[in-house]
Amino acid sequence: MSLFRCPVCGGPLDRGEHACRCPAGHSYDIAKEGYIYLLPPNQKHSAAPGDDKGMAQARRAFLSKGYYAPLLEALCREVLARSGNGPAILDTGCGEGYYTAGIYQALQSAGKAPRMVGTDISKAILRLAAKRERGVEFAVASSYHLPLADGSVDTLLNCFSPLALEEFRRVLKPAGTFLYVVPAADHLWELKQVLYDRPYPNEEKETPYEGFAYEAIVPVEDTITLESQADIHALFQMTPYYWKTPRAGAERLASLETLTARIAFRIHIFRKL
């Protein structure tokens, strides 16, 4: 039985070889890559929502080289420390599955039996996620209409994705863990210095959310060196700066063959009340 629920009637989904079906007869094909499409037409705001194929490939290329491994390692430590033997884990806005797969594999290596699912609104990026880790269920779905039952998830992960707090509260079990990853003030500062004449730091704040209690804010910081223009462009393409950088800044970045930059994240960890 799938951890996902039918997005039409909310019934449980029985996962077969080629499709998932609920008792009411609604059926969802399993793509050849392994993901399922659970985004009803009325939840789509464009023909192809979310990251396009180019952005998906850029994320895959960059993350697969381990540049953000310090963040993955920190997430694995925090999830492992808070997980029982058979945790149900949801990664919302999971992208191409780098963190999803890494956490799943870390839990398995620790002798646990996780049930893990990842959701993203981009079909292009979930094709890559489903190929990365077959042991995780992936579904095209909106974070604001998660196809999961109330109180069905022990741990919810959100890395740089929309904050759908009402849905997060709904699907988390009482005392469940919510990990929210955001960029710190000087994340990719050296990249921003190339792109903009007057860069400014990211805003850092500690925000209490209704229904959650703060447990910790875990800092993750390191320095990375990108040694090819291909890696520099892949990083650029997977950031929001790709869509709002003046041409002169993009041209300056395109002229570089190496770039050393700080990476800095904050993992905000909450417990559901």
Read off the tokens for 78: 């925090």
DSSP code of 201? P
Amino acid at 2: S
Q: Considering only CA atoms, which of 18, 3, 23 is closest in space to residue 146?
A: 3
168-200 pLDDT, tens digit each: 999 999 999 999 999 999 999 999 999 999 999
214-242 pLDDT, tens digit each: 999 999 999 999 999 999 999 999 998 99
Contact criterion met (CB below 8 Å) for 51 and 122 = yes
Contact criterion met (CB below 8 Å) for 167 and 192 = no
| 101 torsion bin: left (phi>0), alpha (psi -120 to 50), beta (else) | alpha
Over residues 129-153, the mean pLDDT reads 96
Over residues 68-94, the mean pLDDT reads 97
What local confidence, expressed as pLDDT, does residue 1 receive?
A: 86
Asked if pLDDT for residue 45 goes beyond 70, the answer is: no
Asked if pLDDT for residue 78 goes beyond 80, the answer is: yes
Contacts 24+ apart (CB under 8 A), 24-31: 31/127, 31/130
Confidence of residue 88 (pLDDT cuts 50, 70, 90): very high
106-138 pLDDT, tens digit each: 999 999 999 999 999 999 999 999 999 999 999
Contacts of 181 (CB under 8 A, 6+ apart): 71, 75, 157, 158, 159, 160, 265, 266, 267, 268
What local confidence, expressed as pLDDT, does residue 85 receive?
A: 96
Contacts of 72 (CB under 8 A, 6+ apart): 98, 99, 102, 103
Backbone dihedral angles phi then psi of residue 5, each to the nearest 5 degrees: -115, 160
Domains of the chain: 34-272 (3.40.50.150)
Q: Considering only CA atoms, which of 113, 91, 89, 92 is closest in space to residue 3?
A: 89
Between CA 66 and CA 257 the distance in angstroms is 19
Can you give the pTM of this predicted structure? Answer: 0.94
Burial of 255 (0-12, 13-18, 19+ CB in 10 A): exposed
Between CA 112 and CA 132 the distance in angstroms is 20
